Amino acid sequence: MKREYYIAVLIVIFIQLFCYYQWDSASIDTTGLVILGGLEGHYKYLLLATWYLFFASISFSFIGYMRSYLVGHGIYVLIREKRKIKIPLKRFCHIFFFITLYCFIQVMVSIIFGYFSDMNQKSVHINLTMFITSFLLYIMTLFVLICFQITLELWLSEPVALLVTNIYILGSIIFGGIILQEGKGYSLLYLLISNFSMIKRTDIWHNHAN
């Protein structure tokens, strides 16, 4: 991946946090769960859009990540590998590593930002079990979506695969919100993988709280 992509994702993390506090200053994150928990169904779409920014930047940075091994320079690399499965496995491992790294940075920045913004408490309260559960869910959701995008690239061109994935994400966020607000058609939620774990929209949050 190009260095410019790493920098772009980092910039987006800061923009996202800035937007979030700008439009929802009541939520100060000293738990790490503001990012990981997602937003409840009644939240305004402007705020949802700030959440989408992070996925959009990751999605863009992985554009052509697998397809580049089917054409051009990738062929030179590919034929030098002994086993055909090695390259795809290495790529999936790279994707998982980078998503974990990006998410870790995002959550840490959010906690640090929250810590310095919280003038009253000056402390960090992390429920470790809940944090780990939601962090893993968050990473896995992003990983599945990026895998969906790079799999599409095997049949479609890179920009079309990127577009389809991002339309799907936006559709998931919007229709997921509508379904939760209407209170019916919950089974359709299984088809809507949103760009963040949205544990506040599911039973996971309540199960842990209870």
The whole-angstrom separation of Cα 103 and Cα 93 is 15
Q: Is 155 in the site for another protein (CB under 8 A)?
A: no
From the list 72, 159, 171, 185, which residue makes contact with another protein (rule: CB under 8 A)?
72
Q: Is 85 in the site for another protein (CB under 8 A)?
A: yes
Site for another protein in 89-108 (CB under 8 A): none
Task: Find out whether 156 and 172 touch, Cβ atoms under 8 Å.
Answer: no
> Given the complex with another protein, which of 83 and 125 has the nearer CB atom?
83
Q: Is 4 in the site for another protein (CB under 8 A)?
A: no
> Given the complex with another protein, which of 73 and 184 has the nearer CB atom?
73
Q: Is 75 in the site for another protein (CB under 8 A)?
A: yes
To another protein, the closest distance from the beta carbon of 61 in angstroms equals: 17
Decide: helix, strand or coil at residue 76. helix
Q: To which residue do tokens 């995008």 refer?
A: 149
> Given the complex with another protein, which of 79 and 128 has the nearer CB atom?
79
Task: Find out whether 192 and 171 touch, Cβ atoms under 8 Å.
Answer: yes
Task: Find out whether 70 and 98 touch, Cβ atoms under 8 Å.
Answer: no
Q: To which residue do tokens 């994935």 refer?
A: 165
Which CA distances in Å does 36 have to 65, 138, 141?
Answer: 26, 6, 11
> Given the complex with another protein, which of 2 and 125 has the nearer CB atom?
2
Q: Is 76 in the site for another protein (CB under 8 A)?
A: yes
Please give the helix or strand (H or E) that residue 126 lies within, else none.
none
Amino acid, res. 49: A
Binding segment for another protein (CB under 8 A), chosen from 5-13, 53-61, 75-83, 201-209, is: 75-83
Please report, as ranges, the residues that interact with another protein according to CB under 8 A: 71-73, 75-85
